[in-house]
Amino acid sequence: MPTMVCVPITLLDVHQALADCDAAREGGADLVEFRVDEFFSGNAEAAPDDATREMNDIVRLVSQASLPCIVTCRSAAEGGAYEGDDMSRVALFERVGTASIKQQWGIERTPRYIDIEWSTYEKSANLRQKVKLAVEHPAQLHDAHTSLIMSAHDFQSRPADLSRRIMAMASEPATSVVKIAHRARSLHDSLELLDLAADAHKPTIALGMGEYGVMSRLLARKFNALLTFASLRATTATAPGQPTLRELLDLYRFRSTSSRTRVYGIIGSPVTHSLSPHVHNAGFAATNFDAVYIPMPVAAVNDDALAYASFRATMLELIEHPRLTLCGCSVTMPHKERLARLAIERNWQIDAATKAIGAANTLTIRRDTQDHILAIEVANTDAPAIIASLESSGETLAQKRVGILGAGGAAKAAAWAFARAGATVVLYNRSLDKAQSVVTDLRAALGDASETKLVAADWTLLDRACCDMFINCTPIGMSSGPSPTQSALPIAQMQSCGDHVTVLDTVYSPLQTPTLAAAKARGWKTIEGVDMFTHQAAAQFSLWTGNQPPLGLFDRIARETLLLRECSTERDNA
């Protein structure tokens, strides 16, 4: 059976929960999980009328739901809200799992599943016996249509006894489905959870929580898990890292995923708000390419040796995993130089830009029809993307004087590309020593002819700059950066520049950065960072698929996504 999509719905009001169930069905969900732990008090002794009403409302909810459902009353000990008596909770399960629904409401509708924690189930024989009365199992004497999900959750970390818990839950005869959910500490944990689902003897739900667990949710179908969860709205997620229904089905094309689907992703930290999944998944859909592109966060620590060791171990595990079928990655900050280092160490194929710059942003893994690795290639598409952005806007580069702001990976890529194209390059940076070090490295890579075309300059000299073009390769002006309202260029003081100046900002969020706004006010030509982004993404797409990249589609998707985010931010700040 294909992996199902389940939408969790927190029950506070029966009418709203039914409306949300209808919305989930219309949105493409297969079933819903009614989380009743905030609704059901279990206080039968102190308030018997309230307890009866609560039970009746839950029975009515199940009977009138437009989708099959899971009923979950999650204990506070495992991340839920229920703090009542366990026997009262089990009595609820027994009530909703029996034929009394048909008798009372005239509709034979019991939950498809009830979910109970293994930590609760193993407390007493009496409790286990009552749970068994409500669910189907080999020793069941009456006609039961509800199955038992036996679950375990850890919102803090991977349980030390994970394997023991899973074996214990699976060996219980009443268990129809094993569910394990814990906070993932790294992508390794996600891969372990996916393998648990693929290797399980009983239907299994294995999900990681948090940003490192997203992979386990998006690839659940590829690894044959029973289901994955997706919230109806971003505000109604019941676990960290849970995608929305629209994201899962539309952005990540969950229904199209199979065991043969190739996997691509973005490696970096952070990657949550990357545009890359939007453009690449749209490109895969437009060209009928069986692949999915997902976020793959890899953290970096301050100790460079430890950071490289972690990056190296993660990349090799992803590449060599027998079921994942990783075929490529975009690599962003802070790992571009680490990718180049790993490629040299492993003797992978490296393009000229990566060799010269010492940083790469693209990994391509060539595989045969049996998914065996044929070759691994590393490239830097930032460098050609900057040139393509300018040339596509009608600019010529030879004999031009170009001022580049910054001395990081993007600045180094830009300086190398412009120097090769015949431009004179001035690298402005707050640390002159760092800028000079970059210049020295690039001169060595380009040869002696570059010596008079590539120079370093102190940041304080920008107001006296006289360039034909300026390229901002710093985070100044980025909406999530340290200086979101500041222009990278002191344009009002730059009297040495004429009227025919072009400014390209590699920052693409917001679309109109303070730097571009100031340049436009001066009458200068501006090129948005999204242009560079789409050109580098198009180059990656071509390397991975061998297909002509849909550049116009990439540009439209990127701009629409950015505009939606900007509108959402404005609403939140209103």
pTM of the model: 0.93
Q: Which residues 6+ apart lie within 8 Å of 339 measured at CB?
A: 267, 311, 315, 331, 359, 360, 361, 363, 378
Residue 312 within any structural domain of the chain: yes
Mark whether 521 and 539 lie in a shared domain. Answer: no
Mark whether 33 and 156 lie in a shared domain. Answer: yes
Here the CATH number for the domain that contains residue 286 is 3.40.50.10860
Here the CATH number for the domain that contains residue 77 is 3.20.20.70
> What one-letter code names the amino acid at 180?
I
What's the CA gap between 555 and 574, in Å, rounded?
Answer: 28
Mark whether 68 and 182 lie in a shared domain. Answer: yes
Mark whether 276 and 345 lie in a shared domain. Answer: yes
- pLDDT average, residue stretch 365-374: 96
Domain that holds residue 187: 4-259
Q: How confident is the model at residue 471 (pLDDT cuts 50, 70, 90)?
A: very high
Mark whether 430 and 521 lie in a shared domain. Answer: yes
- Among the candidates 241, 259, 277, a domain finishes at 259
Residue 255 has pLDDT above 80, yes or no: yes
Catalytic pick from 179, 336, 400, 453?
Answer: 336
- Among the candidates 259, 284, 313, a domain finishes at 259
Residue 419 within any structural domain of the chain: yes
CA 160 to chain CA centroid, Å, is: 26
The count of C-alpha atoms lying within 13 angstroms of the C-alpha of 570, restricted to the half-sphere facing its C-beta, is 7
Report the range of poorest mean pLDDT among 46-50, 407-411, 469-473. Answer: 46-50
Task: Establish whether 222 is a catalytic residue.
Answer: no
Q: Which residue has the tokens 């089905």?
A: 249
Give the pLDDT score at 99. 47
Classify the phi-psi angles of 131: left when phi > 0, otherwise alpha if psi is within -120 to 50, otherwise beta.
alpha
Geometric angle at alpha carbon 357, from 353 and 363, rounded to 5°? 60
By C-alpha distance, which of 446, 501, 198 is closest to 455?
A: 446
Q: Which residues 6+ apart lie within 8 Å of 329 measured at CB?
A: 264, 265, 266, 267, 296, 318, 362, 363
Mark whether 366 and 480 lie in a shared domain. Answer: no
- pLDDT average, residue stretch 502-522: 94
Q: What is the pLDDT of residues 556-567, one digit of tens each?
A: 999 999 999 888
Mark whether 56 and 200 lie in a shared domain. Answer: yes
Residue 386 within any structural domain of the chain: no
Total domains in the chain come to 3
Helix 529-545 crosses helix 382-392 at what angle (to 10 degrees)?
120
By C-alpha distance, which of 564, 99, 244, 247 is closest to 572?
A: 564
Mark whether 517 and 539 lie in a shared domain. Answer: no
Mark whether 279 and 364 lie in a shared domain. Answer: yes
**Contact between 407 and 418 (Cβ < 8 Å):** no
What is the percent of the chain where pLDDT is above 70? 95
Residue 482 has pLDDT above 90, yes or no: no
Q: What is the pLDDT of residues 140-190, one digit of tens each?
A: 767 778 999 999 999 999 999 999 999 999 999 999 999 999 999 999 999
Mark whether 33 and 165 lie in a shared domain. Answer: yes
Q: What is the pLDDT of residues 65-87, one digit of tens each?
A: 999 999 999 999 999 999 988 99
